[in-house]
């Protein structure tokens, strides 16, 4: 179930700082349903959209989030990766690189579109959103070829503003 009640509905605009996290439900790498609304107020969320499991830049990005996972957790943030890959593809990617965080399968890129994440050429986009405890977007990082920077810059923002 996807809730299209956000301001991004029907528009091509990307969600930005100050916007509310849209409600969505997707399957994780274990086949469990992840409901975004269930996590508001429990922890900050770092939601990163990436084009493809096992591709070079996406692997660097995932491994950066993995390597900094303890720092994100200590800062009170839950890391969530999203792309259009299958649950099985995400499970294999998680196991291959020992990823300790949630990977969500977004068939048809419905949540990508809900967030307004822009693609480039033949790829879906790469964008990271930091969501605060009230469910508001407080930081974004955009950069298709900047895998490592998504983790680094999000962590810098979180540690600088949420001590």
* Domains annotated on the chain, with CATH: 25-161 (3.40.30.10)
Residues 61, 66: Cα–Cα separation, whole Å: 9
CB of 143 closer than 8 Å to CB of 121: no
Q: What is the pLDDT of residues 88-128, one digit of tens each?
A: 999 999 999 999 999 999 998 999 999 999 877 667 889 99
Q: pTM for this structure? A: 0.89
Q: What is the pLDDT of residue 22?
A: 95
Catalytic residue among 45, 58, 104, 114: 58
58 is catalytic: yes
Burial classification of residue 158, based on how many CB atoms lie within 10 Å of its CB (0-12 exposed, 13-18 middle, 19 or more buried): buried
pLDDT(51) > 90: yes
């Amino acid at each position: 179930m996807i809730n299209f009640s956000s301001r991004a509905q029907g528009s091509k605009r990307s969600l930005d700082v100050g916007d509310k996290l849209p409600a969505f439900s997707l399957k994780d790498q274990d086949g469990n349903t992840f409901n975004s609304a269930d996590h508001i107020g429990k922890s900050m969320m770092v939601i990163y959209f990436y084009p493809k499991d096992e591709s070079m830049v996406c692997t660097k990005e995932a491994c950066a989030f993995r390597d900094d996972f303890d720092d994100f957790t200590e800062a009170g943030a839950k890391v969530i990766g999203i792309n259009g890959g299958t649950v099985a593809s995400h499970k294999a990617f998680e196991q291959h690189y020992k990823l300790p965080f949630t990977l969500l399968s977004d068939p048809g890129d419905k949540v990508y579109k809900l967030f307004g994440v822009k693609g480039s050429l033949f790829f879906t986009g790469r964008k990271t959103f930091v969501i605060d405890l009230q469910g508001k977007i407080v930081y974004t990082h955009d950069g298709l070829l900047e895998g490592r920077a998504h983790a680094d810059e999000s962590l810098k923002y979180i540690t600088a503003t949420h001590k």
